[in-house]
Structure 1
Amino acid sequence: MAGKYDYDLFVIGAGSGGVRASRIAAGYGAKVAVAEEYRVGGTCVIRGCVPKKLFVYASHFSEDFEEAAGFGWTVGETSFDWKTLVTNKDKEIDRLNGIYIRNLEKAGVEIIASRAVLKDRHTVHLAGEHRDVTADKILIATGAAPFLPDIPGIEHAITSNEAFHLEELPKRVVVIGGGYIAVEFAGIFNGLGVETVQLYRGSLFMRGFDDDLRDLLAEEMRKKGVDLRMNCDIVEIARKDGELRLKLTDGDLIKTDCVMYATGRNPNTTDLGLEAAGIKLGKAGEIIVDKYSKTSIDNIYAVGDVTDRANLTPVAIREGHAFADTVFGDKPIAVDHSVIPTAIFSQPEMGTVGLTEADARDRYDEVDIYKTAFRPLKATLSGSREMIMMKLVVDPKSDKVLGVHLMGPSSGELIQAVGIAVTLGATKAQFDATIAVHPTAAEELVTLKDKWQAPVVKAAD
């Protein structure tokens, strides 16, 4: 296609969204280049969901060894080597990085290992190569980076980025934050035998998720040994006598070996030349886009976490694909962000899709709730005290299932399948008409018949 410009499409950032957009656009015949200053694959592959899930797997074995005894297995003396886990994780990340590179090259996309900065709406400066290139369309897919607060001693703290490369596994760790990254890493460290404290400044973590799941997760994490402390934060970090000392807002003092912040992520929009190109940003520094991912400049687009719409890898991939279909495939597609199945690899694991009970009650006159909590069949012999929870949120007028919220083993796998039903607008009657698979925990999703009734609280005499 290329005409008066060097490229039909220039992509800044080779994460999940940028890679998908590049490949699909090239498939439509566009001349495409993508610039990446670190490694191809983005946060998810290099220092996010993939290595984190590998760490989650590693942390589960301590419980697996204990539970095996109830099934007749005798497990001998066990030990864990952190450096082996990190080395094997790095090998897998290198393998995935190579696959991403090969897929781009196979699609005919030029990969440029350089930081790229906008000079104007059609010109990109490649800082590493000290040259400019031009493009008809530009896509920004630079993702987001961990946030660190400005407090005394913050230089002693790490984020999830550094947690994947610690030279030694600490004996004690404090994780700060109340989102899914914080609870996942708290579970990882705790499962690997680290004395783990998690701090959150609010009254209950996992804000935005269903309240029943939030309550039960806190209960289950405490049962597993995580020291959860709500309504507190760190005001100062100091290093003394080979350890870190944390002064808290409640006046308490914690001594630890490692402090990890997971208190949110900021869009990577600093020093990208966005202002020079006239691109409008939001209050958090995110790029403002329309439903087709177009910015305030009609030839510049943005997808993924840098837009701060729904910061999940599959969403970035979907946005990148939709962008290429729209701009280069003449098939306008607007991504629907209203129903997004989500897995949280906490311990226990959670899966959720659709509206929470609180959100449904805000939007609908009436809401029916179906829920259950129980110990799984495996626990009858393993001795595990971990609970499973399943919850359906239903609109009684249309009988449509508005939300499904799960906690327990393989909830992430389950919610992918359930997400199809919710996306298609399945009704409670259709759930009920589905034959159960027995014996499974998931059969509860199609056998829940009794609506949950809130306890009646009588006024005191």
Structure 2
Amino acid sequence: MSLSFERAQSVAIIGGGPGGYEAALAAAQLGADVTLVERAGVGGSAVITDVVPSKTLIATADAAVAIADAGELGVQLFAKGGDGRPLKPEIAINLAQVNKRLLALARQQSEDMRASLLQAGVTILEGHGRVEDDNAVVVSTGPGGTDFDRIEADTLVISVGASPRELPSAKPDGERILTWTQLYDMKTLPEHLIVVGSGVTGAEFASAYMNLGSKVTLISSRDQVLPGEDKDAAAVIESVFLRGGMTLLPKSRAKSVVREGDGVVVTLSDGSRVEGSHCLMAVGSIPNTANIGLEQAGVQLTQSGHIRVNRVARTSVPNIYAAGDCTNFFPLASVAAMQGRTAVFHAFGDVVIPLEKRRITANIFTAPEIATVGWGVADI
């Protein structure tokens, strides 16, 4: 459905992740003059360094397990030795090739999304966007932020996402101490991966690398893996992890993570030490909302820096909307996409159905997977 106006409505969007992408596409389809500002690439971190590569890695791990367990189904791989007798080959993981493939897939999806926006008539600016006031965005497009473009628009959509949270006592170096965006630079499988944080991200990567063949230690500050999920589901995952050889350290808080020789040492709050080859820090994320002019424009933020939005993705400023992990709603790529569409439809005066958290379906890609929707046991 298209709407007609005396002049084309204009929409400026900061951030080209799922929320920004869907908002841009919806606005263009409604005949608006749309400008999208993105610094890393269309699709944002969700496509380039988060959802797409991580789920591809997990699918690869699942394939490795399927091949390894195929003998139980009567499907066997053999090679002949020098004496003509069959030899059972070992399953080997070429992590460099795995990472090369998944990053290529992520970049291709980003390029496909960019092409879709350009075909729809969206103007894409590469650079850092900042809200100047409730009707304008300033974009630094030159090296070092020397060149600026100013875009005036009737509606602004903020979809700047979030970045991995870093602890002062466990600074990532991109080699041994890693965030989840840095895992794909590894050339060989970690001999012993220590995962700090047992939320969705930590549990998914712990599961994947265990199935790829790494020794894994999962450190959780809570009394169960996946503390946000029902205890019955978490218990199943913990049982699978332990059966697969993973070491679980519940109620343990990492005090510091440092490099030592060719490995890392994690010191816990009780003084004990855990030694490994690599450490993944999965201790949450922080919204990318600092220093982009939101407070000056009157947009209300939470204490954690997330943008306050209502169920139609509207902020405290009537013509400014926000979508995705930078908001205080629900941090899922699918939700961000729906927020982006809902924001545009609402801004253009269309009828929208406010988002309801109880109707959101979510999935955790451990092995086995956990799917949720509606009420949990803790809500009853």
Q: Report the TM-score, using the length of structure 2 for normalisation.
A: 0.90
- Cα root mean square deviation, aligned: 1.9
Counterpart for residue 110 of structure 2: 97
Q: What letter is aligned with 1:47? A: T
Q: Secondary structure at the match of 2:99?
A: helix
Identify the match of residue 134 of structure 1 among 152, 155, 160: 152
Change (3 A) 1:90 1:238: closer
* 8 Å contact kept, 2:24–2:34: yes
Counterpart for residue 71 of structure 2: 69
Counterpart for residue 149 of structure 1: 167
* 8 Å contact kept, 2:223–2:250: yes
Change (3 A) 1:358 1:152: closer
Identify the match of residue 119 of structure 2 among 98, 106, 119: 106
Distance 1:190 1:219 in 2: 14
Q: What letter is aligned with 2:233? A: L
Matches within 5 A, 1:325-344: 325-328=345-348, 330-344=350-364
* 8 Å contact kept, 2:177–2:259: no
Is 198-207 or 8-17 further displaced after alignment? 198-207
Deviation at 1:61, TM superposition (A): 3.2
Distance 2:189 2:73 in 1: 31
Deviation at 1:313, TM superposition (A): 0.8
Write the deviation string for residues 363-411 of structure 1: whole angstroms up to 9, x where unpaired: xxxxxxxxxxxxxxxxxxxxxxxxxxxxxxxxxxxxxxxxxxxxxxxxx
Q: Secondary structure at the match of 1:44?
A: helix
Write the deviation string for residues 325-380 of structure 1: whole angstroms up to 9, x where unpaired: 211252243222222111111122211211112212xxxxxxxxxxxxxxxxxxxx
* 8 Å contact kept, 2:93–2:189: no
Q: Secondary structure at the match of 1:161?
A: coil
Counterpart for residue 28 of structure 2: 26
Q: Secondary structure at the match of 1:307?
A: coil
Distance 1:20 1:136 in 2: 18
Counterpart for residue 185 of structure 1: 205
Counterpart for residue 165 of structure 1: 185
Distance 2:208 2:218 in 1: 12
Counterpart for residue 62 of structure 2: 60
Distance 2:337 2:377 in 1: 29
Matches within 5 A, 1:319-358: 319-328=339-348, 330-358=350-378
Counterpart for residue 82 of structure 1: 95
Write the deviation string for residues 290-330 of structure 1: whole angstroms up to 9, x where unpaired: 22211111111111111121100111111111112211252
Q: Secondary structure at the match of 2:181?
A: helix
* Mapped pair 1:42 → 2:44: yes
Q: RCO higher in 1 or 2 (8 Å CA, sep ≥ 6)?
A: 2
Q: Secondary structure at the match of 2:359?
A: coil
Change (3 A) 1:152 1:56: closer
Distance 2:138 2:192 in 1: 45
Distance 2:276 2:128 in 1: 37
Q: What letter is aligned with 1:68? A: A
Q: What letter is aligned with 1:165? A: D
Deviation at 1:180, TM superposition (A): 1.0
Distance 2:332 2:168 in 1: 26
Distance 2:171 2:153 in 1: 44
Counterpart for residue 410 of structure 1: none
Q: Secondary structure at the match of 2:182?
A: helix
Identify the match of residue 312 of structure 1 among 322, 332, 339: 332
Distance 2:96 2:227 in 1: 34
Q: What letter is aligned with 2:161? A: G
Distance 1:207 1:201 in 2: 9
Q: What letter is aligned with 1:26? A: A
* 8 Å contact kept, 1:236–1:246: yes
* 8 Å contact kept, 1:323–1:333: no
Q: What letter is aligned with 1:126? A: V
Q: What letter is aligned with 2:117? A: L
Q: What letter is aligned with 2:154? A: D
* 8 Å contact kept, 1:176–1:262: yes
Distance 2:58 2:371 in 1: 15
Distance 2:12 2:155 in 1: 6
Identify the match of residue 221 of structure 1 among 203, 224, 241: 241
Change (3 A) 1:102 1:153: closer
Distance 1:16 1:154 in 2: 27
Runs of 4+ in structure 1 deviating by more than 3 angstroms, as ranges, are 1-5, 152-156
Q: What letter is aligned with 1:328? A: F
Counterpart for residue 144 of structure 2: none
Deviation at 1:85, TM superposition (A): 0.8
Structure 1 residues without counterparts, runs of 5 or longer: 361-461
Percent identical:
27
Q: Secondary structure at the match of 1:160?
A: coil
* 8 Å contact kept, 1:245–1:254: yes
Distance 1:97 1:153 in 2: 29
* 8 Å contact kept, 1:291–1:335: yes
